[in-house]
Chain A
Amino acid sequence: MSATRESYLRGVRAALPFAVVIVPFAMLFGLLASEAGLQLYEIMAFSVSVFAGASQFAALHLLQDQAPLLVILATSLAVNLRMLMYSVTLAPHVGAAPLGVRAVMAYLLVDQSFALSVAEYDKRPSMTVQEKIAYFFGAVTPVLPLWMGSTVAGALAGRAIPPEYALDFAVPIAFLAMTAPMIRSWPHALAAGLSVALTLALTVLPYGTGLLVGSTIGMAAGAAFEYWRERRVAAWLIR
């Protein structure tokens, strides 16, 4: 078996366990979108076009609340801004690949393919560009069909479930479950805590703008805290 093929398969194997997360998450999206009155083709257009779960939930939520268009776009895009960092991090590894290949990789750049690939590139610095690309495609191979397929399954199930079931709290639980494991340090905790507190305090502002202000300040506070901590450690090391 060629090294490239082996890398691809290693990526596939590493990504398979993510099915436990992707399947219920995508089903929930399909379900809520269909409860919100969207047709199957509309739900699929959404998933194919955006292919970024958290921002799709955010957009759906705000669409239902009839928030202003600019607020919907700004909030959902803010959720996806982390992918700028993914793009920056992957660029040096696969920059030598043809533009067409990188254009396809960009579409497939999701949390799972990014996290697995970067970990693998770190672990095996001797990988060639071809092997790195193969691994990346392997790592996204289970993700894409599982996400799309489970969205359809959820959308179809949504038609069968009467709307009075308490699905209103599914999104809060899903988002909190997604965020809590990301709080890896005190700056993360500050960013999340301050953002939540300010957003709650600013609910008097016209819909959704409190969230934008609160989360921007929270994000900046987290970054500033991290910067301050690093400088303090650096000062301590020099001493």
Chain B
Amino acid sequence: MVDPMIDRSQFWIVVVVLGLATYAIRFSFLGLLGNRALPGWLQRSLRYTAVAVLPALVAPAVLWPPVTGGEPDAARLLAAAVTVMVGLATRQMIIAAVAGVVTLLGVPFLL
């Protein structure tokens, strides 16, 4: 993969805006809105933001890794599957990540 340079003006906008907006989210109820409750549907939705966004963000790279030019790669597919299964089984992020890395590095030796 050719490493495209990160556009610096875009980078600094992200640093400032993401920083301020994240702080605004954290400060919202703690600082300003106090004991006001969120509507139930919103509260329910917020529980699902991270689980919806994080895996979808990396799913294309799992199926079509840019380094192989988009060809599915057995080691990466297996590593992703092992990471998810170990994470579900152990509920431990670190154990899941280690299992994934070991699979990623180990599979090319086995094939």
A interface residues with partner B (beta carbon < 8 Å): 20-21, 24, 35-38, 42, 45-46, 49-52, 54-55, 58-59, 61, 63-66, 69, 72-73, 75-88, 90-92, 94-95, 99, 102-103, 105-107, 109, 163, 166, 168-169, 171-183, 187-188, 191-192, 194-196, 198-200, 203, 211, 214-216, 218-220, 222-223, 226-227
Whole-angstrom distance between the Cβ of B25 and the nearest chain A Cβ: 5
Q: Which A residues are in CB contact (< 8 Å) with B109?
A: none
Given known contacts A88-B28, A169-B104, what 8 new A-B pairs fall within 8 Å (CB)?
Answer: A84-B29, A169-B61, A172-B76, A196-B56, A214-B52, A216-B52, A219-B48, A219-B49
Whole-angstrom distance between the Cβ of B57 and the nearest chain A Cβ: 6
Given contacts A82-B50, A177-B83, whether A109 and B30 have CB atoms under 8 Å apart is yes
Q: Which A residues are in CB contact (< 8 Å) with B47?
A: 82, 85, 188, 222-223, 226
Whether A102 contacts B94 by the Cβ 8 Å rule is no
Q: Which B residues are in CB contact (< 8 Å) with A55?
A: 18, 22
A237, B46: Cα distance in complex, Å: 27
Type the 1/0 row for B73-111, where 1 means its CB is closer than 8 Å to any CB of A.
Answer: 000100110011111101111101100110010000000
Whole-angstrom distance between the Cβ of B71 and the nearest chain A Cβ: 13
Whether B18 contacts A179 by the Cβ 8 Å rule is no
Q: Which B residues are in CB contact (< 8 Å) with A214?
A: 52, 56
Whole-angstrom distance between the Cβ of B5 and the nearest chain A Cβ: 6
Select from chain B the residue with minimum beta-carbon distance to A54.
Answer: B54
Whole-angstrom distance between the Cβ of A31 and the nearest chain B Cβ: 14
Q: Which A residues are in CB contact (< 8 Å) with B60?
A: 199-200, 203
Tell me which of B6, B17, B21, B26 contacts A87 (CB under 8 A): B26
A91, B32: Cα distance in complex, Å: 9
B interface residues with partner A (beta carbon < 8 Å): 1, 3-7, 10-11, 13-19, 21-23, 25-31, 33-35, 37-38, 41, 43-63, 65-67, 76, 79-80, 83-88, 90-94, 96-97, 100-101, 104
Given contacts A168-B67, A192-B52, whether A63 and B14 have CB atoms under 8 Å apart is yes
Q: Which A residues are in CB contact (< 8 Å) with B31?
A: 99, 102-103, 106
Q: Which B residues are in CB contact (< 8 Å) with A76?
A: 14, 18
Select from chain A the residue with minimum beta-carbon distance to B37.
Answer: A88
A–B complex contacts, Cβ < 8 Å, 12 sampled: A49-B18, A84-B28, A88-B29, A91-B35, A94-B30, A109-B26, A195-B51, A200-B59, A211-B57, A215-B56, A222-B45, A222-B48
A88, B51: Cα distance in complex, Å: 19
Given contacts A37-B3, A200-B60, whether A79 and B104 have CB atoms under 8 Å apart is no
Select from chain B the residue with minimum beta-carbon distance to A225.
Answer: B48
Whether B104 contacts A85 by the Cβ 8 Å rule is no
Whether B14 contacts A69 by the Cβ 8 Å rule is yes
Whole-angstrom distance between the Cβ of B91 and the nearest chain A Cβ: 4
Q: Which B residues are in CB contact (< 8 Å) with A42?
A: 11, 15
Whether A196 contacts B94 by the Cβ 8 Å rule is no
Whole-angstrom distance between the Cβ of A198 and the nearest chain B Cβ: 8
A90, B27: Cα distance in complex, Å: 11
Q: Which A residues are in CB contact (< 8 Å) with B14?
A: 59, 63, 69, 72-73, 76
